[in-house]
Amino acid sequence: MAAPAIEDEATQEQPPDAQPEPEAEPDREIVDDESRKRDLRSRTLDDVLAAAGSLLGALGLVWVLYENLLPTSGPLGFFVSWFVVFVLMYAGVTAMRHPRTVMADRVVSAVVHAFAGLVGLSVLLVIGYTAVRGAEALVHINFFTSDLSSAGPLDPLTVGGVLHALVGTLVEIMIAVVITLPLGIGTAVYLNEVGGRLSRVVRTVVEAMTALPSIVAGLFVLTTVVLMAGFQRSGLAAALAISVMMLPIIARSAEVVLRVVPGGLREASLALGASQWQTVWRVVLPTARPALATALILGIARGIGETSPVLLTAGYTTYLGFDPTSGPMVSLPLMTYQLSRSSEQVDQARAFGAATVLLLVVLLLFVVARVVARSKTGR
């Protein structure tokens, strides 16, 4: 009963016209600074003009200094100087209109875009130069439907083609896939799912094989399979050499893929009474199947363009053959290498045509890998 009395006394002490004290307002400047987000991505017309003006101004300044006043010459030094002066001028112009954070972001963005454009331009130049040099041979249908058994270095481009090299490349890659796919995925499963005392050693060996020179793989197969075991140079020996180069790529990529699989799936499978093997076979591998397909395609793209292992183990022939165990079997990289050594213009055109076909095959594989990875993300 004492509580209401105390409350009444508290209310009586206050005058009737008393107003509650207003709460202290936070500092508006602090609130505005915290709520205002700096937009670093949008570009106004002034920003575009600042970048273009810095680019043109750097070009004029470097041309005056590099070509007229200083004892320097050469296109490489000119472009490097142009880029450095552009970055400095762009940083100064941006600092006049924006705070330091925005200025640093704009300068770093310009440098990153410049290097990305340089890499893209280099790739386009390589592909464009090869395609232009090989266009003379690619326009003929027989280039894709016949071999070089009836074509000599003085015969026109209407005779002969790359069919035997294309078939040899596909046969060797299929054999290499049959060998490396179970070994690579098995290695990844052991490293990520099983583990043990030897896992660190196996991972070290796989990482070391990733940097293995291709000529060493060819010499290894040449010594052990061709010279010691007595096998002849053939498509099978070339496939074994290509497998040595593909195996670490597939193993490393598959291991990274298996790490991404959520651990909750494994725990749920084990909680339901499944064994470790059943968990890996029925849960982990099906979940990572699209990404494992991407790892396989990356390995194929690495092996399909190898020249040194094939040069030592496959032999060279101008005839079409489907048996990888009897006689030499040529591939597209080996055909490109052999024909490029000729001084005849026709063989040079055939070499660039074969290189263009190889580039198209590799680009197709990478497009398939991107599509598979994108479909995984969509699901």
What are phi and psi for residue 117, nearest 5 degrees? -65, -35
- In the listed set 137, 172, 187, which residue is the last one of a domain according to the structure? 137
- Burial degree of 192 (CB within 10 A; 0-12, 13-18, 19+): buried
What is the rounded CA–CA span in Å between residue 1 and residue 38? 60
Are 114 and 190 contained in the same domain? no
Q: Is residue 153 part of a domain?
A: no
For residues 211 and 217, is the Cβ–Cβ distance under 8 A? no
pLDDT in tens, the chain (379 residues): 444 444 444 444 455 454 555 554 544 444 444 445 555 566 677 778 888 888 999 899 988 888 888 887 888 888 988 999 999 999 998 888 888 888 888 889 889 999 999 999 998 998 899 999 999 999 999 999 888 888 888 888 888 889 999 999 999 999 999 999 999 999 999 998 888 788 889 988 998 888 888 899 899 999 999 888 888 889 999 999 999 999 999 999 999 989 988 888 888 998 988 888 899 999 999 888 888 888 888 888 888 888 888 988 988 888 988 988 888 999 999 999 999 888 888 889 999 999 999 998 888 888 877 777 665 544 4
What is the model's pLDDT at position 3? 47
What is the rounded CA–CA span in Å between residue 39 and residue 110? 16
Are 285 and 349 contained in the same domain? yes
> Among residues 80, 242, 245, 77, which one has the least CA distance to residue 174?
242
Are 351 and 208 contained in the same domain? yes
Are 203 and 114 contained in the same domain? no
Q: Which domain holds residue 55?
A: 45-137
* The dihedral formed by the CA atoms of 219, 220, 222 and 226, expressed in degrees to the nearest 10: 170
* The dihedral formed by the CA atoms of 178, 180, 184 and 186, expressed in degrees to the nearest 10: 50
pTM for the whole structure: 0.73
Tokens of 280: 């890996």
What is the model's pLDDT at position 37? 54
What is the model's pLDDT at position 39? 56
Tokens of 357: 């076909």
Are 66 and 207 contained in the same domain? no
What is the model's pLDDT at position 315? 86
What is the model's pLDDT at position 20? 52
**DSSP per-residue letters across 312-377:** HHT---SS----TTSS----HHHHHHHHHT--SHHHHHHHHHHHHHHHHHHHHHHHHHHHHHHHHH
Are 353 and 219 contained in the same domain? yes
What is the model's pLDDT at position 44? 75
* The dihedral formed by the CA atoms of 275, 277, 282 and 283, expressed in degrees to the nearest 10: 80
Residue 198: helix, strand or coil by DSSP? coil
Q: Is residue 10 part of a domain?
A: no
What is the model's pLDDT at position 129? 92
**Number of structural domains found in the chain:** 2
